[in-house]
Amino acid sequence: MDQLEMKKMAAQAALQFVRPDSIVGVGSGSTVNCFIEALGSLRDQIKGAVAASKASEELLRKQGIEVFSANDVSSLDIYVDGADEINPQKMMIKGGGAALTREKIVASLTKNFICIVDSSKQVDVLGSTFPLPVEVIPMARSQVARKLVALGGSPEWRQGVVTDNGNVILDVHNFPIMNPVEMEKELNNVAGVVTNGIFALNAANTVIVGTAEGAKIIK
């Protein structure tokens, strides 16, 4: 079974958490694209969705699903999103698709964050295999990079990438994160940082892992 099939398996399994007449929070990325495709089968049973990226909004509309703004809702029944890495405590690194800020905003609207991943995304320590994305105000890029170096990381500007918010991304390599909660707070307090890709304060409630043996649900 290849990686795409495992992503589709996790995405399909997430449909069981979608309740009728609800508004569903939807993240972004390749695994979420599989979920959006699967969610199309429930288009007549839900009110619509709030998306964390313009790309996800477009895919939802193609499935005939009404898209709401985050400003239009006070809460969401569930939020479904993927991860670039996830540890046993259900904390994640996200932002490979540069949508981390909007993902955190939509995730904050629900108490039921469902993370869908294939088994390759599971790690013991965040930062082990994937660089940490940090969204930065453009004029602060060099200043923030120096702070990241001082913290022990090796930041690299993701050139040619501008977020949906008009900002830039620094990817921090060689940066194992031993205390995700404290590091998330520390980085967010750096002047010029919009947010960083550690999702520890917004950890997942349920993880669905697509494996060669089927979808595994971790609560």
Spell out the residues 6+ positions from residue 214 whose beta carbon is closer than 8 angstroms to its own. Answer: 9
30 labeled part of a ligand binding site: yes
Q: Which of 76, 88, 86 is nearest to 46 (CA)?
A: 76
Structure tokens at 120: 């390759």
Q: What is the DSSP string of 64-78?
A: T--EE-GGG-S--SE
- CA 152 from chain centre, in angstroms, equals 24
28 in a known ligand binding site: yes
Catalytic one of 103, 182, 184, 213: 103
48 labelled binding-site residue? no
Q: Is 103 part of the annotated catalytic residue set?
A: yes
27 marked ligand binding residue: no
Residue 31 labelled as part of a binding site: yes
The answer to whether 219 is annotated as binding is no
Between helices 30-39 and 3-14, what is the axis angle to 10°?
A: 50
96 is in an annotated binding site: yes
Annotated catalytic residues are 103
Q: Which residues are annotated as a binding site for substrate?
A: 28-31, 81-84, 94-97, 121
